[in-house]
Amino acid sequence: MKETPKHNAPLLWVTTLMFSITFLVAAVGVPAYGITHGFDPSQWIMMLATVALCGISITAGYHRLWSHNAYNAHFLIRLFFAFWGTHALQNSVLVWASGHRRHHRHIDNNDKDPYSIKRGFWFAHIGWMLRAYPSGKDDFSNVKDLMKDPIVAFQHKHYLLLTLASNILVPLLLGVIHGDIIGTMLLVGVLRIVITHHTTFFINSLAHMWGKQPYTDTNTAKDSPLIALLTYGEGYHNFHHHFQTDYRNGVRWWQFDPTKWLISGLSWVGLASNLRRVPVFKIREAQIKMQFNQASKQLESCHLANLETWKSSLEKEYDEFLVTLSEWTSLRADWYQTKRQSLHNALQFKWEFAAVTTRFKEMEYALKMQQKRLKLYTLNFQAAAF
Ligand SMILES: [Zn+2]
Ligand SMILES: [Zn+2]
């Protein structure tokens, strides 16, 4: 079935008014109040703290925990994420995760991806929520696992009441404690919502537009350190779309991903477990495939004197890569077999484990070296192209 043309989908008045009014108050009301009455540092701190609590509950809770099952979290942590996620005014976990799972499954498909970037920046950022598009229709058949979580079920059932109550009571309470109720309501109530909304929305819009594609070019998702800075680490979106079950988005230790640091911190104190990681080898495999693509494209487009020699050495590299891949796959299969067989023999298991680990490390190293060589090829081709 074809997607209903944009202007035919009925406007969702309540959502449109909510986005418009909060944005207008944040853009006009907040500066006006700031000029006439002023805000003090404690109000700004409360605003930033609630922005962070809402934002990280969306990324660590709504996204990595509930949408992707990237780890397990203690009841109290789930309650915490559900509380601040409700406060973030981005619908219930069930609605959010169901749409997000469809986004992953049908990425860039204008009829099925609820926020396909192929329909433009505005649509992917916010437009998809303003009208009742068929692509955005609720369908909870892909979140049956989440319905078993009592916190998710309770939040979904009472969502409207819960979000209204928290969005009025939390800023009001902070305002009463502070003394300036209107100023605090403006900053913690309204500006906080607008910042949280748009930083999350950047993941659907900008993270599919700006940045590099180190792991896959089969979809529009990009890796951008700048977007990661604004989105608690979610800007490493190319990695995420390729390895969606990994609890990390910025997979390298130095990549800015506070959500991954929070999750591993929670696991150190026993509040999170089962953190899912993609094997290093698989990550390198994806990167190398992309490097081969890039190198052969460059080879075609530049005019090297000894083109054939370059071509054959690149082909040799590729053959070597395929050999390592197949060795890794069979070693992994053997290893599962050995694990099953040596369950009752601890000594044999230990010995096998050490041998296999060494071999896996060697293969990871071989890929690392190959990645470096491919980088050199690319640099050579670039130099030759000028
Ligand atoms: Zn995406
Ligand atoms: Zn995701």
Residue pLDDT, tens place only, 305-353: 677 777 788 788 888 888 888 888 888 888 877 777 766 677 777 777 7
Q: Is the pLDDT of residue 278 over 70?
A: yes
Tell me the average pLDDT across 257-280: 97
Mean pLDDT over each residue of the chain, to the nearest integer = 91
| Gap from CA of 204 to ligand 1 centroid (Å) | 5
Closest listed ligand to the CA of 107 = 1
pTM: 0.87
Closest listed ligand to the CA of 238 = 1
| Gap from CA of 129 to ligand 1 centroid (Å) | 16
Q: CA angle, corner 301, sides to 298 and 306, nearest 5?
A: 85
| Gap from CA of 141 to ligand 1 centroid (Å) | 20
Closest listed ligand to the CA of 246 = 2
| Gap from CA of 258 to ligand 2 centroid (Å) | 16
Contact present, 202 and 218 (Cβ < 8 Å)? no
| Gap from CA of 251 to ligand 1 centroid (Å) | 16
Query: How many CB atoms are closer than 10 A to CB 2?
Result: 7
Closest listed ligand to the CA of 100 = 2
| Gap from CA of 158 to ligand 1 centroid (Å) | 28
| Gap from CA of 152 to ligand 2 centroid (Å) | 18
| Gap from CA of 104 to ligand 2 centroid (Å) | 7
Q: Is the pLDDT of residue 7 over 70?
A: no
Tokens encoding 210:
């700006």
| Gap from CA of 212 to ligand 1 centroid (Å) | 14
The H or E element that residue 273 is part of is strand 272-273
For helices 41-56 and 75-87, angle between their N-to-C axes, nearest 10 degrees: 120
- What letter would DSSP give residue 27? I
